[in-house]
Amino acid sequence: MSTSLPNLDDSLIKSPREQHGDQHKPRILLLYGSTRTRSFSRLLTEEAARLLEHFGAETRIFNPSGLPLPDDAPSDHPKVQELLELMQWSEGQVWCSPERHGAMSAVFKAQIDWVPLTLGAIRPTQGKTLAVMQVSGGSQTFNVVNQLRVLGRWMRMFTIPNQSSVPKAYLEFDDNNRMKPSSLYDRVVDVMEELVKFTLLLRERPDLVDRYSERKESAEELTRRVNQRSI
């Protein structure tokens, strides 16, 4: 049992850590959807980051505080640039939002709305793995994780099958802001373990995200440039 993860029975973990050998650690970006002082989506995200690091990943958490509303500031705003750089750095992501009025929070959606499908020749989210989570103040729902799945598909990401929904989140964290042992915690372990496995698998197969339409577009662009040079 890990001292930093006292609720985790390490003897039952089939760790994906050995699978990447000499390669760099899987790079996972974590986003959460609240700027409250004691944000349960942030606490769940931090718990997820501890697990990911235990499974051999490198993690970075983006703090949305100070991020302007989409289109309310230039794209060279420091917080926007920080977010875009992290998007490009990552190989996989974790999205965690509180449920607000039956939907994801505006704080979370604003982060995704700053991210274009293309940055020059770079597609900042296409082909990356994604795990989705939500926290609720009341009974359990799956409204937010369902919406996050739709959003992830639109951003051309591979959303893993497993997900986490934590109802009455205020009951699930102790005075040290650590998640209490429960079946809900075990589900978070499942999700993070699965995310690392899928991230390792997909980064070994870049051909799986290589699209015919994009190859065709690139070939046509190359032909156009060759023809222009020959004129």
Kindly tell me if the per-residue pLDDT of 1 is higher than 60: no
Tell me how far apart the alpha carbons of residues 112 and 131 are, in angstroms, rounded to a whole number. 15
Tens digits of residue pLDDT in 87-144:
999 999 999 999 999 999 999 999 999 998 877 667 889 999 999 999 999 999 999 9
The pTM of the full predicted model, rounded to 2 decimals, is 0.87
Share of the chain residues as helix, strand and coil, in percent rounded to the nearest 5: 45, 15, 40
- pLDDT (0 to 100) of residue 97: 98
Tell me how far apart the alpha carbons of residues 176 and 52 are, in angstroms, rounded to a whole number. 20
Average pLDDT over residues 58-73: 97
Tens digits of residue pLDDT in 3-21:
688 888 887 776 665 555 5
Kindly tell me if the per-residue pLDDT of 188 is higher than 80: yes
Tell me how far apart the alpha carbons of residues 85 and 204 are, in angstroms, rounded to a whole number. 22
- Between 220 and 164, name the one with better pLDDT: 164
Tell me how far apart the alpha carbons of residues 120 and 212 are, in angstroms, rounded to a whole number. 19
Kindly tell me if the per-residue pLDDT of 167 is higher than 80: yes
If DSSP codes are grouped into helix, strand and coil, which group holds residue 95? strand
- Token pair of 146, please? 């369902």
